[in-house]
């Protein structure tokens, strides 16, 4: 426990020291959020309500999530080698592969959105292409779980261990891609996604400790320390944003953390806020596609509350409270016999 807490503090300190000059650099580089007035949905239609609610974010730099990814990856490799913890090299590989591969996909998208807007529109990469790449990465991760880590079961409380065989590969791909996009959808208000993620990771560091999984707990603790430093600059009013670089990496890696614990039901509950946000967007998209009408005035849920007159900090703080309740319930599901 002393090692875990020490590395958490070290990660926080390193990230905090590097963030200030990085933010200044991003402002000079003018790597900023895309103009919300040009935002379109997946049917290539303008979203004026969303643009109005998020107009104040147009001048903020994006891309600070890359620093959190870098600090977490480097410090994890350094600590595993230095402290001599009985860590699974394969587990460390899949954690870092997931975080870095989805971060690179997000970084590519962020850069194209900023420097090739006339060719790519709001989304940078076309959403179909981005989803295809995510699915391929997800299938690789699933294959790694099945062939290398020998995961072929789903542990669901009240039902026990369910052997799913090779179906674990597409199941893993679905979970990873779903959480990557759910996190990206949730990352719309200051501190909303990172604060919710922090609550989820605290639950998982407790769960991994209970399951005697010290290597996973160490990785999560390093990640928590870096996120804590970032959150200081991301809460309302935020000075910097994650961008797709951090959002896709964080969501996908959270899914892998949950899968490594073997508690897929606990993952779904602990990440309940992300699922609700993504679910509301999915309902909205299907409604517009099949009925030609909106189910919500605006989606996802955090924008729906904003549109009803809730102030941004109020939405975020109450989402954190809901996330805390989900985390406690999911942790209970993960530890009860």
Q: pLDDT class for 123, splitting at 50, 70, 90?
A: very low
**Residue 165, class by beta-carbon neighbours within 10 Å (0-12 exposed, 13-18 middle, 19+ buried)?**
exposed
Decide if 204 contacts 257 (C-beta within 8 A). Answer: yes
Mean pLDDT within 212-222: 89
Residue with the larger pLDDT of the pair 128 and 206: 206
**Alpha-carbon distance 188 to 91, whole Å?**
31
pLDDT attached to residue 86: 61
Mean pLDDT within 97-121: 78
**Regarding beta strands 160-163 and 153-156, do their DSSP bridges make them parallel or antiparallel, or are they unpaired?**
antiparallel
**Alpha-carbon distance 249 to 180, whole Å?**
7
Q: What is the pLDDT of residues 264-286, one digit of tens each?
A: 999 999 999 999 999 999 999 89
The secondary structure of residue 151, as a DSSP letter, is: -
Model confidence at 234: pLDDT above 90: yes
Decide if 316 contacts 191 (C-beta within 8 A). Answer: yes
pLDDT attached to residue 207: 93
Mean pLDDT within 279-294: 90
Mean pLDDT within 92-106: 96
Could you tell me where the DSSP H helices lie in the chain?
2-29, 48-53, 65-83, 89-115, 117-120, 127-147, 168-186, 192-210, 214-234, 243-261, 264-270, 272-291, 301-307, 312-335
pLDDT attached to residue 111: 81
Mean pLDDT within 228-244: 93
pLDDT attached to residue 310: 93
Centre a 10 Å sphere on the Cβ of residue 212 and count the other Cβ atoms it contains.
7
Distances (CA, A) of 48 to 36, 193, 240, 296: 9, 23, 23, 14
The secondary structure of residue 44, as a DSSP letter, is: S
Model confidence at 56: pLDDT above 90: no
Decide if 244 contacts 124 (C-beta within 8 A). Answer: yes
Cis peptide before 59 (omega within 30 of 0): no
Mean pLDDT within 38-42: 54
Model confidence at 84: pLDDT above 80: no
Q: What is the pLDDT of residues 151-201, one digit of tens each?
A: 988 877 677 788 889 999 999 999 999 999 999 999 989 999 999 999 999
**Alpha-carbon distance 337 to 265, whole Å?**
14
**Alpha-carbon distance 57 to 306, whole Å?**
14
Contacts of 313 (CB under 8 A, 6+ apart): 190, 236
Identify the top-confidence range among 44-48, 67-71, 237-241: 67-71
pLDDT attached to residue 121: 46
3-state DSSP assignment of residue 310: coil
Long-range contacts: 74-80, Cβ < 8 Å, 24+?
75/7, 75/10, 75/11, 75/14, 75/222, 75/226, 76/218, 76/219, 76/222, 79/3, 79/7, 79/218, 79/222, 80/215, 80/218
Q: pLDDT class for 258, splitting at 50, 70, 90?
A: very high
């Amino acid at each position: 426990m002393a090692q875990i807490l020490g590395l958490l503090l070290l990660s926080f300190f390193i990230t905090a020291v590097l963030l200030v000059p990085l933010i200044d650099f991003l402002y000079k580089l003018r790597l900023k959020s895309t103009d919300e007035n040009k935002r379109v949905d997946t049917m290539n239609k303008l979203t004026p309500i969303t643009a109005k609610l998020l107009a104040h974010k147009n001048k903020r730099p994006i891309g600070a999530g890359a620093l959190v990814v870098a600090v977490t990856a480097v410090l994890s490799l350094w600590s595993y080698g230095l402290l001599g913890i009985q860590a699974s090299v394969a587990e460390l590989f899949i954690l870092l592969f997931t975080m870095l591969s989805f971060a690179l996909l997000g970084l590519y998208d962020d850069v194209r959105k900023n420097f090739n807007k006339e060719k790519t529109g709001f989304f940078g990469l076309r959403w179909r292409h981005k989803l295809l790449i995510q699915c391929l990465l997800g299938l690789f991760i699933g294959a790694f779980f099945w062939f290398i880590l020998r995961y072929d079961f789903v542990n669901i409380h009240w039902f026990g261990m369910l052997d799913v065989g090779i179906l674990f590969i597409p199941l893993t791909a679905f979970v990873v891609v779903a959480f990557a996009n759910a996190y990206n959808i949730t990352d719309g208000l200051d501190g909303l996604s990172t604060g919710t993620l922090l609550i989820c990771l605290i639950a998982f560091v407790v769960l991994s400790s209970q399951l005697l999984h010290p290597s996973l707990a160490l990785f999560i603790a390093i990640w928590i320390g870096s996120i804590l430093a970032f959150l200081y600059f991301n809460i309302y009013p935020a000075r910097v944003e994650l961008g797709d670089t951090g959002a896709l990496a964080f969501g996908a890696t959270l899914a892998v953390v949950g899968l490594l614990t073997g508690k897929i039901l606990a993952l779904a509950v602990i990440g309940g806020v992300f699922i609700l946000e993504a679910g509301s967007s999915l309902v909205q998209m299907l409604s517009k596609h099949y009925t030609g009408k909106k189910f919500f005035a605006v989606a996802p849920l955090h924008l729906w509350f904003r549109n009803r007159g809730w102030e941004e900090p109020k939405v975020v703080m109450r989402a954190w409270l809901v996330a805390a309740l989900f985390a406690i319930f999911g942790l209970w599901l993960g530890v009860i016999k």
